[in-house]
Chains A and B, each alone.
Chain A
Amino acid sequence: MCINCGCAPTGTASDRHPHDHPHGHGPAGRTLLVETDLLAKNDRLAAGNRALFRQAGVFVLNLVSSPGSGKTTLLERTLREQGGQLRFAVLEGDQQTSRDADRIAATGVPVRQINTGAGCHLDAHMVGHGVETFDLPRTDILMIENVGNLVCPAGFDLGEDHKVAVLSVTEGEDKPLKYPQMFRAATLLLINKTDLLPHLDFDVERCKGYARQVNPRIEILELSCRSGAGLSAWYAWLEAGVREKREASGVRSEERKS
């Protein structure tokens, strides 16, 4: 059961542990051992989301970056160019407005906007409710565009398969060292807006080196949503992820609901 609102969205197991151990009810001033991570509840809800996504065989990405790195433009172009082969759904996280969701809706892909208000990140609870209206068994990829913020979203698991960090070349190549939590948590780094490189001092190789200092296993792709350079590698990465997820979920493509 969801503690915030009392609903039972996606989780199968109850979040209360069985009350089979004795508790002392002695005099006042007792010490209780707790040993619980602060993110335990979010992690539990994220595990519920992950189970739901696995059952549906949907590949889920959590797109994270600072504001203005080009996440929404990347999504728009990806949906327009890959929407014929792959079925997408998009969750948009922003503090306010539905401007990004409106841009995605124009591509014809199902989209939900989540406004976090004062909140600086999406959490697993918001995402669990956010996907309720999507037909997940008929979706290949769920893209979650997180709030533009390189700090807070790093610690909050949403139930995604991978975090994808987007870094545009106008931002400075040392971002991975300055905001290491996010680059540690990401599987893939997209270095975006590479069409601007001739006008900048941005050193791509140095940026990659910094990213590998915080995460030696991180995969890195360079692309430009304006020129289209590098997009085919990104699309191939998506396709491979979809295929892998289907196999891991035991859903063969001929069994997929169409």
Chain B
Amino acid sequence: MHELSLTQSLVEIAEEHARRAGATAIRAITLEVGALSGAIPAALEFAFDVCSKGTLAEGAVLTIRHVAGHGQCSACAAEASGHDLTVVCPVCGALAFELDAGLELRVVELEIA
């Protein structure tokens, strides 16, 4: 689904940065994908093969770093893993749980030649 347009953005961002640095090829891309970001890593990998054809990123190794969901409750101050997108605190049950990790969809770094 929308992984295709996310991957098109990934290739655009990578090419833009690589060109600006005078690179002739991109060898590797590191991407951070949060567990609750809504994007499926396998779909991103599949789309990457298609979207990178004919670009500086063709043949690059795509490494996806998984970021687990994590948050804190503003009612009981507990820190906990976040397993869904609700604001229900897994410890005290208040509707006050805010995620601070797990929503990432970020290009971290490139290895260029």
Mark A residues whose CB is within 8 Å of B: 3, 19, 23-25, 28-42, 119-121, 123, 151-152, 154-156, 177, 180-181, 184, 212-216
Q: Assuming A30-B112, A214-B86, is B105 touching A19 (CB within 8 A)?
A: no
- A31 CA to B110 CA in the complex, in Å? 6
What's the dominant secondary structure at chain A's contact region?
Answer: mixed
Question: Considering the complex of A and B, which 6 residue pairs feature the smallest CB-CB distances, nearest first?
Answer: A180-B85, A152-B2, A28-B113, A213-B86, A38-B105, A32-B110
- A30 CA to B96 CA in the complex, in Å? 44
How far, in Å, is A141 (CB) from chain B's closest CB? Answer: 27
Mark B residues whose CB is within 8 Å of A: 1-2, 5-6, 9-10, 12-14, 17-18, 20-23, 27, 31, 38, 84-88, 95-96, 105-113
CB pair A30–B12 under 8 Å, yes or no, is no
CB pair B2–A121 under 8 Å, yes or no, is yes
- A37 CA to B54 CA in the complex, in Å? 23
CB pair B112–A216 under 8 Å, yes or no, is no
CB pair B105–A37 under 8 Å, yes or no, is yes
Q: A39: which B residues are within 8 A, CB to CB?
A: 6, 9, 105
- A151 CA to B106 CA in the complex, in Å? 19
CB pair B2–A213 under 8 Å, yes or no, is no
18 CB contacts below 8 A, A to B, read A25-B21, A30-B112, A31-B112, A33-B109, A34-B13, A36-B17, A37-B106, A38-B107, A39-B6, A41-B9, A41-B13, A120-B2, A123-B5, A152-B2, A177-B84, A213-B86, A213-B87, A214-B85
